[in-house]
Amino acid sequence: METPAVPASIRRLAGRAIADFDMIREGDRVLVGLSGGKDSLTLLWLLHNLARRAPVRFEVGAVTINPEIEGFEPQRLMDYLGAYGIPYHFVSEPIAELAGEHMDNDSFCSFCSRMKRGLMYRTAREHGYNVLALGQHLDDLAESFMMSAFHGGQLRTMKAHYAIDAGDLRVIRPLVYVRERQTRDFAAAAGLPVILDNCPACFAMPTQREHMKQLLAREEARHPRLFRNLRTTLKPLMTEGGIPPRDPAKTPHHERSAHGPTSASA
């Protein structure tokens, strides 16, 4: 079955990010965190296609965390991936129920996010993946930066590539240079089985993130180069703490002098 063709505009930006932040290395087994949204589906096809043609050899699978919230219907997504033979792991956990027992003073969104991340880490370990790929894009990073500056008093955003505290897994975000409108357009054109966000907690009130999204949209209407400038501004923050070092014992000799996996971005 022919796989959806990710547009060259997305491939170029993602390839540049993969090279800039040394995201994909020889022999990596990459697990895509697949929520069913347009961004994670775009990321899955991007990496799936790249793995078939890049000089750097790596494998790709996907994991979906089912929070057991009413309205989340993943069957269409499961059937879709099954038709392509992509290794797929589906994990169910009653996150809403657990939140009522263990959330303490935290927000439900923060609790849910941590639970999902922990379950993805566990799935990666159980099935031998060493890299977790997440679908946040440039718009997400810009919004996070604004929220941190406005409400947290810090200049921070999401990292493009880092090792988790336990040291056994790396997390990458290959879409950090890609705009949200690009993933939206691709998902619509390719007929991807997008599962819309249906968390009742997210719909309870307008979020800080939605406010920042609207603010940035207004500013971009006045300043079309806004996100290009923000990408330059945010790049040092994406590598805060440094990019995880390579293991020399696992790096082929020809790559050690070639600045990592730049060939994978072709």
CB contact at 8 A, 63 and 123: yes
Nearest residue to 198 (alpha-carbon basis) of 37, 30, 1: 37
**Residue 81 pLDDT exceeds 90:** no
Nearest residue to 142 (alpha-carbon basis) of 230, 61, 78: 230
**Residue 118 pLDDT exceeds 60:** yes
Over residues 192-201, mean pLDDT: 75
| pLDDT for the residue numbered 111 | 79
SS3 content of the chain, % helix, strand, coil (to 5): 50, 10, 40
| pLDDT for the residue numbered 179 | 98
- Higher-confidence position of 243 and 206: 243
Over residues 252-265, mean pLDDT: 43
| pLDDT for the residue numbered 96 | 73
Q: Using CA atoms, how far apart are residues 97 and 208, in angstroms rounded to an integer?
A: 25
Joined tokens for residue 252: 């082929």
**Residue 258 pLDDT exceeds 50:** no
Over residues 110-117, mean pLDDT: 85
Over residues 147-159, mean pLDDT: 94
| pLDDT for the residue numbered 171 | 98
**Residue 252 pLDDT exceeds 80:** no
**Residue 180 pLDDT exceeds 70:** yes
Q: How confident is the model at residue 106 (pLDDT cuts 50, 70, 90)?
A: low
Query: Which tens digit of pLDDT belongs to each residue from 44-62?
Result: 999 999 999 999 999 999 9
CB contact at 8 A, 135 and 147: no
Burial class (CB in 10 A: 0-12, 13-18, 19+), 28: buried
| pLDDT for the residue numbered 227 | 98
| pLDDT for the residue numbered 261 | 43
**Residue 253 pLDDT exceeds 70:** no
Q: Using CA atoms, how far apart are residues 40 and 134, in angstroms rounded to an integer?
A: 7
| pLDDT for the residue numbered 103 | 65
Q: How confident is the model at residue 40 (pLDDT cuts 50, 70, 90)?
A: very high
Query: Given phi > 0 = left and psi -120 to 50 = alpha, else beta, which region is 85?
Result: left
